[in-house]
Amino acid sequence: MAISKYYSLFLMLLFSSLILSANAQNVDIKTVFADAEKQTEVMLREIPTAKHGKAELVSPRSLDANGQLVLTPSFRWTSGFFPGVLWYLYKYTGNKKWAEQATIYTANLQREKYNGGTHDMGFKMYCSYGNGYLLTKDSAYKNTLLQAAKTLATRFNYTVGTFRSWDTMPKFSFPVIIDNMLNLELMFEATKLSGDSTYYKMAVSHANTTIKNHFRKDFSSYHVVDYDSTKPNSIIKKVTHQGYADESAWARGQAWAIYGFTMCYRETKDPKYLKQAENVAGYILNNPTMPEDLVPYWDFNAPNIPNEPRDASAAACMASGLYELSTYSRNGKIYKKAADKMIESLTNNYRSPIGESRGFILLHSTGAKPNNSEVDAPLPYADYYYLEALLRAKMIKEGKKLF
């Protein structure tokens, strides 16, 4: 039996039992967004104090060991998520105060459109300027996105067929991380905005190379594939830098994969991307270490499960990806029910009490466990993908698309 058929069969078996045993309450999206507004108002009050006079600090990053708000400069990969949260609040509520705040916090990233020293252009610029453009059609946002795409294009290597990830990791020659899949959305958008197919072709090449080299036979993903950029098809090593071990499945990496290939299918309608997203979904949802509430441990192979930290950010990203995947796949009902369960779990058990956590919405995420960094902490990308998943759930119910 083909592996993809194996996963499809077991998906059916898993969810026929899971759904019958689930007693999670349905999520009241209106109430959750009202709570998110209250939390974000807290965050907006906290940010000026947390700046400590440092103008370069622009967006929330996490909380420190003393519960104090930590901010990040614009060049860090997480800087675009808070502007994205603000844009999503505006999309849901239509309240202009959120558009005004989103405009302010998006503008803080303007300089990043020229920052060719990072691959994280999609995370930074598409979550902020991309959502801003989709909601406002502001031509200045369009121009910023196009410049950001031009800058990201300078990191594309035609010999390897991918965008380079890190520049500051001397143990790698030409590293490509699974996270990079989410930066491709900016390139697809740039072709739509400009008519220049170069960006589209780069994105497709990167996605195809990732399918070829990043995945194991069970469709789990390595975090990093390191290439020799001087020779075609030359792989130096495959590792899992932020996971438990090189052959383990780092949970957020699997989330990036399912989200990224679903997005690639949306933009290209190439069935191999849909199949890849379905295969990754099969790995995630049939994994024996996936908890009953479908909020994964930080690594599916972490040694001390069930006494390992969870990663709410991975669950939020998985849920958003699964909701979109459900609109394309023959297994759509299964994926939607899985996403529903994730969102119900996050809503009921992983949210901050109103007025606490300096305004973060979700708790219990894991940033980089091997470095003991941001473990069991609130993180802005958890909040971003959580609100995005809720919006997708609403749009599916209404028979609409997110944008």
Q: What is this structure's pTM?
A: 0.95
| Burial class, 275, CB count within 10 angstroms (exposed 0-12 / middle 13-18 / buried 19+) | middle
Residue 15: predicted pLDDT = 54
How much is the average pLDDT of 364-380? Answer: 97
How much is the average pLDDT of 68-93? Answer: 98
Q: Which residue among the candidates 120, 226, 293, 340 is catalytic per the annotation?
A: 120
Looking up tokens 């958890």, which residue turns up? 382
Report whether pLDDT(3) > 60: no
Alpha-carbon distance of 384 to 388, in angstroms, equals: 6
Quick: pLDDT tens for 272-315.
999 999 999 999 999 999 999 999 999 999 999 999 999 999 99
Known catalytic residue at 138 = no
How much is the average pLDDT of 248-267? Answer: 98
- Please indicate whether residue 161 or residue 3 has the higher confidence score (pLDDT): 161
- Average pLDDT of the chain? 94
Report whether pLDDT(6) > 50: no
Quick: pLDDT tens for 17-55.
454 344 445 899 999 999 999 999 999 999 999 999 899
Alpha-carbon distance of 210 to 221, in angstroms, equals: 9
Q: Which residue among the candidates 28, 35, 64, 179 is catalytic per the annotation?
A: 179
3-class SS letters over 84-114 = HHHHHHHHHHCCHHHHHHHHHHHHCCHHHHH
- Kindly write down the DSSP assignment for every residue of 283-349, as one continuous string: HHHT-TTS-TTS--BSBTT-TTTTSS-B-HHHHHHHHHHHHHHHTTSTTHHHHHHHHHHHHHHHHHH
Residue 24: predicted pLDDT = 40
Residue 14: predicted pLDDT = 54
Give me the percent of the chain exceeding a pLDDT of 90. 92
Report whether pLDDT(268) > 90: yes
How much is the average pLDDT of 206-234? Answer: 97
Amino acid at 14: L
Strands 69-73 and 57-63: antiparallel
The CA dihedral of 4, 393, 399, 99, to the nearest 10 degrees, is -130
Question: What burial letters (b/e) apply to 209-232, b meaning 16+ CB within 10 Å?
Answer: bbbebbbeeebbbbbbbbbebeee
Known catalytic residue at 179 = yes
